[in-house]
């Protein structure tokens, strides 16, 4: 680990005014950043501890939605009674991630910005465009069983590792940030970037911007929702494929649907094509399978991860069956 300056911010203004310079990073729970610093993948010249900022609250909004402070711990969010009642999919996604100890430290802001688990990204000896732009991608022709099948590019095929983000993508959350020039509200789908030719650029946050909160819109039916995560072992493991779903029924037909995938995309993957198939259809195995086929129609697999295409389809069908049953 390289030497760095450590400061503590006591309010948002002082945090933001110290963030503008190159090499400055904020630290929240530290569960991802410290690991990356120990491996010399992240080398900040200054760390700004933001844990004293007043961003730990979870509020119900007048419109029925929720506002979640960026420093709310993953476990506090997962066990909040209103989250369990109104956004079950989010609670389930959070509880499927990491371990109880990690969830007690990890924050909402840090979870949004956690970095990929591609093994070559962590291994110093291998070229990696995300770590060293222009050096090449070791995963494309290497061991790529855990890599992505949606949103990949010729420069990077790394999956986005978060579970929480998959639920937030399905729910259409909005990320509120504040920087030197003021505040911005970023729709969830516009926050994370596809790798394209610049896989080292992972999101649309600017250097001086702090994540302040995430807002969930009111979705009357999001209590009827589910997060299903399939992985190599039943806990303390990242997803091979996961699905977040919420369904609204009217007279036996699906009136509205929200679907997102994890473990298979280079960013948390809202499956708009699946939502289109489901909307207006009768809940049946055939409907769910057609939705899954549509969702994976643009998937591109690599040498070791072709199994993920069928796995993701089955994961979605099972999640939809759990929420909607079958006629
Ligand atoms: C062994 C292990 C297993 C795990 N398993 C899973 C899993 O199964 N599923 C899953 O989803 N996750 C998993 N995780 C990842 C874990 O969820 C993340 O490490 C955690 O959410 C990061 O939050 P943090 O507060 O600790 O972030 P930090 O490590 O403090 O920060 C991460 C990044 O976010 C930035 N940041 C933090 N807060 C803000 C803010 N408010 N504004 C701007 N920038 C900010 C930091 O500068 C840093 O770049 C695992 C982690 C470990 C170590
Ligand atoms: S997939 Fe991305 S993170 Fe993995 S080696 Fe290739 S460039 Fe690096």
- For 146-161, write each residue's pLDDT tens digit: 999 999 999 999 999 9
- The pLDDT tens digits along the chain (327 residues) read 889 999 999 999 999 999 988 899 999 999 999 999 999 999 999 999 999 999 999 999 999 999 999 999 999 999 999 999 999 999 999 999 999 999 999 999 999 999 999 999 999 899 999 999 999 999 999 999 999 999 999 999 999 999 999 999 999 999 999 999 999 999 999 999 999 999 999 999 999 999 999 999 999 999 999 999 999 998 899 999 999 999 999 988 999 999 999 999 999 999 999 999 999 999 999 999 999 999 999 999 999 999 999 999 999 999 999 999 876
d(CA 34, CA 133): 22
Give the span between the Cα atoms of 267 and 138, in whole angstroms. Answer: 19
Angle (CA) 88-108-312 rounded to 5° is: 55
Which atom of ligand 2 is closest in space to residue 126's alpha carbon? Answer: 5
Q: Quick one: which atom of ligand 1 is closest to the CA of 34?
A: 29
pTM over 0.75: yes
Token pair belonging to 212 = 């302040």
Which atom, in ligand 1's list, is nearest to the CA of 70? 41
Q: Is 73 exposed, middle or buried (0-12, 13-18, 19+ CB in 10 A)?
A: buried
- Counting from 1 in the atom list of ligand 1, the atom nearest the Cα of 162 is 11
Q: Output the pLDDT for position 116.
A: 98
- 119 CA distance to ligand 2 middle (Å): 8
- Minimum CA distance residue for ligand 1 atom 11: 162
pLDDT at 197: 98
Ligand showing the shortest atom-to-Cα distance for residue 122: 2
- Which ligand sits nearest to residue 29's alpha carbon? 1
Indicate the DSSP class of residue 20. S
User: pLDDT digit string (tens) for 240-272?
Assistant: 999 999 999 998 899 999 999 999 999 999 999
Report residue 255 as tokens: 């009136």
Tell me which ligand sits closest to the C-alpha of residue 157. Answer: 2
Distance CA(243)–CA(269), nearest Å, equals: 9
Mutate which of 114, 121, 186, 228 for ligand 1? The one with the most ligand atoms within 8 Å of its CB, which is 114
Q: Which domains does the chain have, with CATH numbers?
A: 5-52 (3.30.43.10), 225-324 (3.30.390.50)
Supply the pLDDT for residue 327.
Answer: 66
Alpha helices in the chain (DSSP H): 12-19, 33-38, 74-78, 81-86, 88-95, 100-105, 108-113, 119-122, 164-171, 272-278, 285-295, 307-324
| Distance (Å) from CA 274 to ligand 1 centroid | 29
Q: In this structure, what DSSP letter does residue 190 have?
A: G
């Amino acid at each position: 680990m390289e030497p760095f300056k450590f400061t503590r911010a006591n309010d948002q203004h002082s945090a933001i005014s110290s963030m503008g310079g190159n090499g400055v990073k904020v630290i929240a729970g530290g569960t991802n950043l410290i690991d990356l610093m120990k491996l010399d993948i992240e080398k900040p010249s200054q760390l700004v501890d933001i844990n004293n900022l007043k961003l730990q609250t979870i509020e119900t909004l007048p419109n029925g939605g929720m506002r979640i402070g960026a420093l709310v711990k993953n476990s506090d969010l997962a066990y909040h009674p209103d989250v369990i009642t109104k956004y079950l999919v989010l609670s389930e996604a959070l509880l499927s991630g990491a371990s109880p100890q990690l969830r007690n430290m990890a924050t909402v802001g840090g979870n949004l910005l956690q970095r990929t688990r591609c093994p070559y990204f962590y291994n110093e000896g291998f070229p990696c465009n995300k770590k060293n732009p222009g050096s090449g991608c070791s995963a494309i022709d290497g061991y790529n069983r855990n890599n992505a099948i949606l949103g990949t590019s010729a420069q990077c095929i790394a999956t986005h590792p978060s579970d929480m983000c998959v639920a937030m993508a399905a729910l259409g959350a909005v990320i509120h940030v504040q920087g030197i020039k003021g505040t911005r509200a970023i729709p969830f789908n516009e926050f994370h970037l596809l790798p394209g030719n610049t896989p080292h650029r992972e999101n649309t946050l600017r250097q001086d911007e702090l994540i302040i909160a995430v807002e969930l819109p009111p979705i009357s039916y999001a209590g009827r929702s589910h997060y299903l995560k399939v992985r190599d072992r039943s806990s303390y493991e990242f997803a091979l494929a996961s699905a977040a779903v919420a369904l609204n029924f009217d007279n036996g037909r699906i009136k509205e649907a929200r679907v997102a995938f994890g473990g298979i995309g280079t960013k948390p993957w809202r499956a708009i094509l699946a939502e289109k198939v489901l909307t207006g259809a009768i809940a049946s195995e055939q409907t769910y399978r057609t939705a899954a086929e549509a969702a994976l129609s643009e998937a591109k697999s690599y040498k070791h991860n072709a199994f993920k295409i069928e796995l993701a389809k089955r994961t979605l069908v099972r999640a939809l069956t759990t929420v909607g049953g079958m006629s």
